[in-house]
Structure formats: structure tokens, C-alpha cells
Amino acid sequence: MNCEGIQARLQDLLDGKLSAAERREVEAHLDGCGECAALATLMGPDLLLECAPDLTNAVLERTSGSACSRAHEILCESVDGTLGHVDAELLSLHLDRCGECAALAVALKRLGEDLPAMAELEPAAGFVEEVLAATLPRRSPWAGLAARWARAWTTLLARPRIAWEAGYVGTVALWLVVSVLGAPFQASTPLPSVESSAKIVDDVKHRVSTLGRRAWDATGGRGQEAWDGLQSDISRRYRRTEGALDAMRQDGDRLKQAALEFDLEESGQALKALTNDARSAWERFANAPEASDAEPE
């Protein structure tokens, strides 16, 4: 066998595909032929193992780029076991050489075990009891309305300016009732005119005088004496109250002034004095007149 035939069988020799007789023949030739022996050394496994990684990376850099992105695309399917046979083999070859992708593959596999265990988280004790208390017995959506109203009112009343707001709302409501809506405080019929008022007064006077005349006729003239006595009594009682009425006027002016000046303390005192004056005036009027109070002749 010449050199050309030997060199054609070198790859089969390295792959172990030659029969024993053929191998002996090729090896005998290599012992005697320096050129073929050098070629066989270059094709040898030691040299290939030493150079392949760098060579592969260099070639990839100058051609398709890194295969990692493609590996990432199918990593999940590989972990899930849904990857096709060929892709699985190619990915396996890549993972044998790429530590980064191999770490990701391992992490993905472990995450597949760890994540489902995180599906549940025990709430604090009493959770179920609280839910059951809020739901059982089965109620209609309106069932909690009263409780919600109560809560809303409590919240409303706890507002800092509730008194001011309530006063304002109340005033507006009162104004609406009295002035706008025609409510009970408003006269249901138009007020009488001045002329009709005069007629009413005349009518009342006529009735009173008729009544007086009938009373006069019934008492036989003694009514005049009684009437004169009553007038005299009232006059005396009124004169006794004059001092108290003057004091009431003064205290009334004092109350008015204090109210205008927003002086609450002074207003309170004036109101108290006014009340005392009123009581004093009433006591003087109500008590029976004394002899000294007799009308001067």
C-alpha cells in the first residue's frame, strides 16, 4: 500500500474501524514513512483534545456567535422533558462545555422542585374563625347594612368639626323648611290687608261692647263699681313694679352690649340679672297691694 492509500485510511485507524490485519499493515507503513507518521500525529486524539475548546470558541466568534442564547431558548423545555431528541443531544453537548448554561440548567431543575412548595403559607391563628364569623350564617348582601350604617355614623360623629357642620346643615334645613318649601311655619293663607284688619278690629270691639252691655244689664249696675276697683288695683300693682322694670331695661341694654362685643361672661351675668329683675317685678305685681300703695287722692 502506498502513502496515498495509507493516508486515506488514517482516520479509520484513529477511529478504530480497521481490522487487525489492516491496522498492522498501516502501522508498519507508518514506522517506515516519516511523512505519513507526522500526519497521523497531527490527527491524533491528544492533539485534538488539547485544541478543540479554544478552536470551537474562536470559530463560533467568527461565524454564528455564542450558542448560549439558543441554549437558553430550549433550556426550560429540556428541564420539563418536552425537548426533541436531537435538540436534547445538541444541548447536552453544549452544557458539557458551557459552565454558565449548565449552572442555569441545574438551577432551573431545582427551582422546579422548590417553587411548588411555596404555594401555601399558613396565616396566623384564628383566621378561619374570623372568616366564619364574618360569613355564617349565610346572609343576604343587605344583612350587614345596619352594622355598616352604625359604623358610618360613628365615623361621622367622630369628625372634629361635626358640631359646626351639623349647625350649618341644620340652619340650611330650617331655612329651606320655613322659607322655601311652604312649611307649617308659613301662613297657608295670605295675610289680611289693612282694611280687612280694621274690619276685624271693629267686629271684635262690637262683640266686646255687646258682651259688656249684657254683663252690665245682668249685674244691675254693680259692674261699674267692680270695674273701677279692678282698674285701681291694676294701676297700684303696676306702679309697684316700676323700679324693677327700670332695672330690667338697664340689664337688657347691658346684655345687648355684651352680646355685640361677644363677651360671654358679661352676657351671662347680664342675663342672670335680667332674670332676677323679671322675677322681682312679677313678685311685686302678683302680691296683694298694701295700704301704703293706695292711689293718692
Partner 1 sequence: MADVATIVQRCRRGDALAWEALVRRYQSRVYAVAFHYLRDADEARDLAQDVFIKVYRNLDSFTGEGFLPWLLRLIRNGAIDRLRRKKARPPATDVPVEDGMQLPATGPSPEDAWVTDARRRLVYRALYRMSEQNREMILLKEIQGLNINEIADLLGVPVGTVKSRSSRARLELARRVVELDPSYGAP
Which residues of this protein are in contact with partner 1, per CB under 8 A? 72-73, 75-76, 103-104, 106-112, 114-124, 127-128, 130-132, 134-138, 141
Query: How many Cα atoms sit within 13 Å of 137 on the Cβ side?
Result: 0
C-alpha cell at 23: 491496522
Instruction: Report in angstroms how near the CB of residue 121 gets to partner 1 at its nearest.
Output: 4
Inter-residue long-range contacts of 260-265, CB under 8 Å, 24+ positions, other chains counted: none
Nearer to partner 1, 32 or 116 (CB): 116
Inter-residue long-range contacts of 269-275, CB under 8 Å, 24+ positions, other chains counted: 273/247, 274/248
Instruction: Tell me which amino acid residue 284 is.
Output: R
Nearer to partner 1, 124 or 194 (CB): 124
Nearer to partner 1, 86 or 133 (CB): 133
Q: Tell me how crowded residue 280 is: count the other CB atoms within 10 A of its CB.
A: 16
Instruction: Report in angstroms how near the CB of residue 134 gets to partner 1 at its nearest.
Output: 6
Nearer to partner 1, 140 or 193 (CB): 140
Nearer to partner 1, 45 or 137 (CB): 137
Instruction: Report in angstroms how near the CB of residue 140 gets to partner 1 at its nearest.
Output: 9
Q: How far apart are CA 258 and CA 196, in angstroms?
A: 42
Nearer to partner 1, 123 or 190 (CB): 123
**CA proximity to 101, closest of 92, 88, 110:** 92
Instruction: Report in angstroms how near the CB of residue 77 gets to partner 1 at its nearest.
Output: 8
Q: How far apart are CA 39 and CA 10, in angstroms?
A: 9
Instruction: Report in angstroms how near the CB of residue 147 gets to partner 1 at its nearest.
Output: 13
Instruction: Report in angstroms how near the CB of residue 124 gets to partner 1 at its nearest.
Output: 7
C-alpha cell at 99: 459552565
Q: How far apart are CA 13 and CA 26, in angstroms?
A: 8
Nearer to partner 1, 109 or 206 (CB): 109
Instruction: Report in angstroms how near the CB of residue 78 gets to partner 1 at its nearest.
Output: 11
Q: Is-contact 124 131, C-beta < 8 A?
A: no
Q: How far apart are CA 75 and CA 90, in angstroms?
A: 11
Q: How many angstroms separate the Cα of 194 from the Cα of each of 191, 199, 208, 242, 250?
A: 9, 9, 21, 34, 35
